[in-house]
Amino acid sequence: MKTLQVALAQIAPVWLNKKKTLDKIKEAMLQAAKEKAQLVVFGEGLLPGYPFWLALTDGAQWDLKINKTLHAHYAQNAVNIEDGDIEDLCVLAKEHTMAVYVGVIERATNRGGHSLYCSLVYINEQGIICSVHRKLQPTYDERLTWAPGDGNGLQVHPLEGFTVGGLNCWENWMPLPRAALYGMGENVHCAVWPGSDHNTKDITRFIARESRSYVISVSSLMNKNDFPKDTPYIEELLAAAPEQLANGGSCVANPDGSWLIEPQVNTEGVFCAEIQLDRVYEERQNFDPVGHYSRPDVTQLHVNRERQSTIKIKD
C-alpha cells in the first residue's frame, strides 16, 4: 500500500522581510524533515507575506503615498526565482528528499521584473523547481498590488506514487482550474491560503468530495504584533489593524470528505499526517469526475498552458 507523509507548515511570515521569512521557512522544513515528511506545504504568498495593508490604508485611493511606499517595499522583498532567491529551499528539499509547495510573491523576469505575481512554487524531492503557478485572478483588493497570472502553472507532479497539484486561495473556488488538475490525474490537491479557517473549513471537504482526492489546505498566521517595527508607516498600520488578521485553519480532508486533520486555529507549527493511495481508489469506485462519471462528448475543457510574456525575442 502506497503512503505519503505530508506536513502542513502553518507559520507567520516576518512580514515583508524576504530574508527573515526565508529563515523561518527553512526552520519549518527542518522540523518537517524530523517528522520524515515527504511533502511540506506552506501558505499563500508567505514569502514575504500577504498585502494586508490594502484593507487598512484606503488602498484604492489614487496616488496615495502610503500605498506607493508599501508597494515599493513589497516589490523589493519579493522573490526573483531566476536570481536564485529560493535556491536554499531547493538545497534543503534535495538534502531531505522532500517535495515542497511554497507560496511566494514573485517579481517575474519574463514580465519585466517589476510587477508582482502571487505564485505557488513546486520543488520536487530532487530540489528541482518543477512549476511556478501564477495566480490566475487576484481577489478584490489584491488586484491593486498583484498582476493576473497565466495557465503555465496548471501542472501536476508525481510523488511517491501519488499525483500532486495546487491552487492559490480563491482559485480553489474556480471550477475550471480545479477540473484541469483533476483531468491531469491529481489525487492530492494542495490549496494554499493567507488564512483563516473561514476559508478552509468548508471548501477543503467540498473539494475532497468532488474530486475524491486528499485535500491539504495550508494557511499562514498574522497577528497585530507580527508587524515588524521597521515596516514603512508602521504607526498608521497598527492604528488601523485588528488584533488578528489571519488565524490559520490549516487542515487535511480524506477523499470521502471526512477530516484527517481538522482546522488548526491560532497555533503556529508543523502538522503531519500519513495519507494512503488506496483511499483514493476506494472513493473513485462510485464517482470519478474526469473518468467514468464524466461525459467529454458533452462538456470538455481546453487549457492554455503557454507562459505569457509581452515580448518574444528571436536572436
Predicted pLDDT of residue 212 = 98
Query: Is the pLDDT score of 220 beyond 90?
Result: yes
Percentage of residues of the chain with pLDDT beyond 70: 100
Per-residue pLDDT, averaged over 214-235, amounts to 96
Per-residue pLDDT, averaged over 33-52, amounts to 98
Predicted pLDDT of residue 1 = 85
> In DSSP terms, which residues pair with 254 in a beta bridge?
none
Predicted pLDDT of residue 286 = 96
Mind listing the pLDDT tens digit for each residue in 122-178? 999 999 999 999 999 999 999 999 999 999 999 999 999 999 999 999 999 999 999
Predicted pLDDT of residue 127 = 98
**Domain parsing of the chain, residue ranges:** 3-284
- Identify whether 190 is a catalytic site residue: no
Per-residue pLDDT, averaged over 103-132, amounts to 97
H/E element, 100: strand 99-107
Among 119, 104, 107, 53, smallest CA distance to 76 is for 107
Q: What average pLDDT does the structure give for the chain?
A: 97
What are the start-end ranges of the E strands in 138-284?
Answer: 157-159, 162-168, 188-192, 214-218, 221-223, 244-253, 259-265, 269-276
Q: Is 3-284 a CATH 3.60.110.10 domain? A: yes
Catalytic residue among 90, 118, 169, 272: 169
Catalytic residue among 24, 106, 135, 186: 135
Mind listing the pLDDT tens digit for each residue in 170-205? 999 999 999 999 999 999 999 999 999 999 999 999
Catalytic residue among 18, 24, 44, 283: 44
Predicted pLDDT of residue 22 = 98
SS3 116: strand
Percentage of residues of the chain with pLDDT beyond 90: 98
Query: Is the pLDDT score of 211 beyond 90?
Result: yes
Report how far residue 302's alpha carbon sits from residue 199's, in angstroms, rounded to the nearest whole number: 28
SS3 180: helix
- Identify whether 169 is a catalytic site residue: yes
- Identify whether 82 is a catalytic site residue: no
CA 203 to chain centre: 15
Burial class of 148 by CB neighbour count within 10 A (0 to 12, 13 to 18, 19+): middle
Report how far residue 180's alpha carbon sits from residue 182's, in angstroms, rounded to the nearest whole number: 5
Say if residues 148 and 137 touch (Cβ distance below 8 Å): yes
Mind listing the pLDDT tens digit for each residue in 55-97? 999 989 999 999 999 999 999 999 999 999 999 999 999 999 9
Report how far residue 152's alpha carbon sits from residue 64's, in angstroms, rounded to the nearest whole number: 34
Half-sphere exposure of 285 (CA within 13 A, CB side): 6
